[in-house]
């Protein structure tokens, strides 16, 4: 019944529109084509001015309201060291394009009114104007030169790879439908080699080459944990379709392309807890007072709960299929000491899933995998040992 009513209303609207068109034609014949055309010009010009005011007014008001949620505005400041350069580029580009946007739209709709067809007025033909040509060529050229040079400078800074003598940590993120598989190096600080022909859905989802001893201490966590203030190099790849490694708060965004590894380097500026505190302000008594822009949950009048549960996140920024929404992962930024404790608690994927299986190249052999390269406090290095044999190929 509801569908029939909707169809009836649509048919009625079409009939009314057709009848209005016919009435307009009849009115034009009665008044004369020329008079009708001038009247139409007047109405179109006037409506153009109305649209100009409503459109630009709505644009300015909405940009002021939603600007606090946009990149580089409001409380969502960059959480990485390189993010400031990208935010600056965004703001400069928005400034120049915003000026052009406003001026061109004012000219477009104002001219529609000013130069409407009127009785007794003739159009003037201006074949050429040197000054006008120079202005609208030189000004965009100067602005584009500024933006390109500033953009290249930011690009070279953001996309610079780590130097051989630079201290950093490396991790790997592999996208798949629909999730992320993460891999961190163990105590040796190096990620082992991979071969896509070794991938299986059982104990080797990443195709790690177990004959490469660097793989033996690599571990696969369920969340991204990184130390604050230390450069991170992320290896990015995909196991099936195109994905995108996106850390919005860190201004990190890079495609994950099957068969073509990419990378991104960045340095976190704040721990998760520090960023939570940054989101709010304090009143005169030193108690948390959260900003007015934040929507307060009716179940939590002071908003404290929402800020305490804020987390950085890893998302996929490509439409990779019906399960695209589920590729969100929590990202925790912690102190270097906490990161080291967390890393020490992880167990290598090899020991968890591969050791003494048919895929284990060291099956039946004694194998020592260092957990820490430093002294554990008792004069001996900490290590994990497997049993049954008399060789140690990982030493």
Interval 260-290: pLDDT, tens = 889 999 999 988 888 877 766 444 455 544 4
What are the φ and ψ backbone dihedral angles of 388, each rounded to 5 degrees? 75, 70
The SS3 of residue 206 is: coil
Q: What is the pTM of this model?
A: 0.70
Rg (CA), the chain: 32
pLDDT in tens, the chain (395 residues): 677 788 878 888 888 888 877 776 666 666 556 666 777 777 888 888 898 899 888 888 888 777 766 655 555 678 898 888 888 888 889 889 989 989 998 988 888 888 877 777 777 777 778 888 888 889 889 999 999 999 898 888 888 888 888 888 999 999 998 899 999 998 888 899 988 888 887 788 888 888 888 888 899 998 999 999 999 999 999 988 999 999 988 999 999 999 888 999 999 998 888 887 776 644 445 554 444 444 444 444 444 445 556 788 899 988 888 888 889 888 999 999 999 999 988 888 888 888 888 777 877 777 666 544 333 333 333 344 444 433 444 43
Separation between Cα atoms, residue 219 and residue 348, nearest integer Å: 4
Q: Single out the residue of 242, 252, 260, 266 nearest to residue 327, CA to CA.
A: 242
The SS3 of residue 211 is: coil
DSSP state of 325: G
CA separation, residue 324 to residues 36, 177, 243 (Å):
55, 8, 9
Handedness of CA 96, 97, 99, 103 (dihedral sign): positive
CA separation, residue 20 to residues 24, 26, 29, 90 (Å):
6, 10, 14, 47
Quick one: pLDDT at residue 392? 41
Interval 137-196: pLDDT, tens = 898 899 999 999 998 988 888 888 888 888 889 999 999 988 999 999 988 888 999 888
- CATH number, span 169-282+300-355: 2.60.40.420
């Amino acid at each position: 019944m509801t569908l029939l009513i909707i169809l009836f209303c649509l048919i009625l609207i079409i009939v009314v529109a057709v009848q209005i068109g016919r009435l307009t034609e009849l009115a034009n014949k009665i008044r004369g084509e020329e008079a009708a055309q001038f009247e139409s010009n007047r109405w179109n010009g006037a409506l153009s001015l109305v649209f100009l005011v409503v459109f630009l007014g709505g644009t300015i008001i909405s940009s002021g309201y939603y600007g606090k949620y946009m990149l580089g505005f409001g409380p969502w400041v960059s959480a990485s060291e390189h993010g400031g350069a990208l935010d600056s580029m965004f703001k400069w580009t928005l400034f120049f394009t915003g000026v052009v946007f406003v001026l061109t739209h004012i000219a477009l709709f104002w001219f529609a009114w000013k130069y409407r067809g009127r009785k007794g007025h003739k159009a003037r033909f201006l074949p050429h104007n040197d000054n006008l040509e120079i202005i609208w060529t030189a000004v965009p050229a100067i602005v584009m030169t500024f933006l390109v040079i500033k953009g290249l400078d930011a690009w070279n800074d953001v996309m610079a790879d780590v130097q051989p003598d630079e201290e950093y940590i490396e991790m790997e993120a592999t996208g798949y439908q629909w999730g992320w598989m993460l891999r961190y190096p163990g105590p040796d600080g190096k990620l082992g080699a991979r071969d896509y022909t070794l991938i299986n859905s059982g104990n080797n989802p990443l195709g790690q080459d177990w004959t490469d001893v660097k793989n033996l201490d690599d571990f696969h966590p369920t969340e991204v944990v990184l130390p604050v203030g230390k450069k991170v190099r992320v290896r990015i790849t995909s196991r099936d379709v195109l994905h995108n490694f996106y850390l919005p708060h860190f201004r990190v965004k890079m495609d994950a392309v099957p068969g073509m590894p990419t990378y991104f380097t960045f340095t976190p500026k704040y721990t998760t807890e520090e960023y939570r505190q940054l989101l709010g302000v304090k009143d005169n008594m030193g108690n948390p007072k959260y900003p007015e822009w934040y929507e307060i949950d009716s179940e939590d009048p002071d908003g404290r709960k929402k800020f305490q549960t804020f987390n950085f996140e890893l998302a996929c920024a490509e439409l990779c299929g019906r399960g695209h929404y589920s590729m969100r992962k929590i990202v925790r930024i912690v102190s270097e000491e906490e990161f080291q404790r967390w890393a020490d608690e992880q167990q290598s994927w090899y020991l968890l899933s591969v050791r003494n299986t048919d895929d284990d190249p060291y099956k039946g052999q004694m194998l020592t995998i260092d957990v820490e390269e430093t002294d554990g406090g008792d004069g001996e290095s900490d290590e994990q040992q497997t049993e049954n044999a008399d060789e140690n190929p990982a030493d």
